[in-house]
Amino acid sequence: MRRTDPSPSRTDALAPDDLFAGQAGAGCSFAQELPPSFYTRVAPRHLREPRLLHVNPAVAALLGLDAAALDAPAFLALCAGSGRLPGVEPVATVYSGHQFGVWAGQLGDGRAHLLGDVAGPQGRWEIQLKGSGRTPYSRMGDGWAVLRSSVREYLASQAMDGLGIPTTQALALVASRDPVIRETPETAAVVTRIAPSFVRFGHFEHWAHSAIEQAALLDYVVAHWFPDCRVGPSADADRPATACRLLAEVTRRTARLMAQWQLVGFCHGVMNTDNMSMLGLTLDYGPYGFMDAFQANHVCNHSDTLGRYAWNAQPAVAQWNLTRLAESLQVLGCLAPDLEAALAPFESVFLQAYYAGMAQKFGLSDWRPEDADLGNAWWKLLHEQRADFTLAFRRLADTDGDARSWLDLFADPQSARQWLDRYQARLAQDPRPQPDRKAAMDRVNPLYVLRNHLAQQAIQAAQQGDASEIDRLMERLQDPYAQRPGDERYAQPPTADTPPVAVSCSS
């Protein structure tokens, strides 16, 4: 990780250096290949006296940027909103969606600007600024993001990537002194994030009643990211079959993503259809959270008063969202039975990924049908005793010898001991040697996750211009499985006297 000098820098007199010289060149396929009705060309409102608080060299490498490029004034200008990709005008895209189960109508990039896309060593990446000012889709918002929420998104994308969970990735975090009013006065910041595409379910929902635009969007998405979904040589005649095949693939990707979220105790917080990625990526980190004390019905978003997006509801919500996506494809001539068939694999794919993950986390060579009872008893035990999600899994690998550190996680060790006896009886049927099992379990059960209180400590330091805690967290989140001597505090849940961190849609 690279921590930058937090001192302010000016960008108003910068030369338009081409950061991507020698590569395949910058462009914006979204604006070049889709009609103007899909977007608005709009410039970001660049930050005054921006400072590059942190940059992720691993993400920069995906774009082909080396250390010298990250030190160039043009890089700061690009990430602060005053620079441009060569020959590309930034755009904000329009989409619609269901928010908290209710049709919200037209939405769109209300505080994000797509700068374009560039070719990296391993493929092409879209570059987007988040928190970069108002667009025609801002509705009543100011288009800014505050440093608090920007730090949370920057860290979250690294946390998910380190866990091997598909996600958008954060390239850079730029801070400023620009005032922003939320519940209290704060300062503005911008996250530069990248993904192969930021196309959402909501982009398709927006054109649910317009066959021409929906067909253009389908053709664009399939051509770039799902070429295997194309059916037949005739785009017009075969488009319904292509759309159904695309829906089936998005269903499978989303189902696997939900299993991954559940297995690490991750709660998204705002699983609206406009926050669902067509590529199966974790998209838009607002009021997210990794659970400390496990509660099956845990709600991380204080704005979610009805608990729609609780941890145990996430797979069902994803399935509901996919159904809304399917409905939007009917305008292409897709028949209801074909769409239902495309949606049908969700449950089986989710359960396959979930059970395979549970087998790995329990250190089992395979998952047997009767193991479902053991898994259900596990969640019941953690829920009733509010045991720490991450440490309960991590310390399970050490219970073959001295189980005291694991039992210490439970208010009633006797109940935990009863479950452990069942678990160890199951392990006796598994031929793997204990040292091999422990090593395998430690490779899938993280020690370090982005707990809310750790993110809050990094935020408070960043608000004083100090990026050192961001730097330390990024290093640990990059490899959350390897134990680091002296890093015990990063693995511990918050103490009883730690002030609770409340996150909401304003986060």
- Cα distances (angstroms) measured from residue 382 to each of 267, 409, 442: 17, 9, 20
Q: Active site residue: 109, 161, 274, 388, which one?
A: 274
Strand partners, 54: 3, 173
Q: Do 268 and 282 touch, CB atoms closer than 8 A?
A: yes
**SS3 label, residue 301:** strand
Q: CA-based Rg of the chain, rounded to a whole angstrom?
A: 23
Q: Do 303 and 287 touch, CB atoms closer than 8 A?
A: yes
Longest dimension (CA), the chain: 70
Alpha carbons 95 and 209: distance in angstroms, whole number? 13
HSE, side-chain direction, 13 A CA sphere, residue 196? 17
100: closest CA among 290, 311, 320, 251?
320
Alpha carbons 451 and 33: distance in angstroms, whole number? 41
To the query of whether residue 274 is one of the catalytic residues in this protein, the response is yes
Distance separating the N- and C-terminal Cα atoms of the chain = 25
46: closest CA among 133, 116, 115, 114?
133
**SS3 label, residue 120:** strand
Which is it for the CA torsion 192, 65, 278, 315, positive or negative?
A: negative
**b/e map of 317-333 (b: 16 or more CB within 10 Å)?**
bbbebbebbbebbbbbe
Alpha carbons 398 and 414: distance in angstroms, whole number? 18
Alpha carbons 227 and 168: distance in angstroms, whole number? 21
Q: Do 93 and 30 touch, CB atoms closer than 8 A?
A: yes
CB-based contacts of 82: which residues, under 8 Å, 6+ apart?
11, 12, 14, 44, 46, 47
Phi, psi for 91 (deg, rounded to 5): -135, 160
138: closest CA among 117, 116, 107?
107
Q: Where are the alpha helices (DSSP H) in 142-267?
A: 147-162, 201-206, 211-225, 235-264
- The tokens 């850079």 sit on which residue? 172
Phi, psi for 114 (deg, rounded to 5): -85, 110
Q: Which residues are catalytic, by number? A: 274
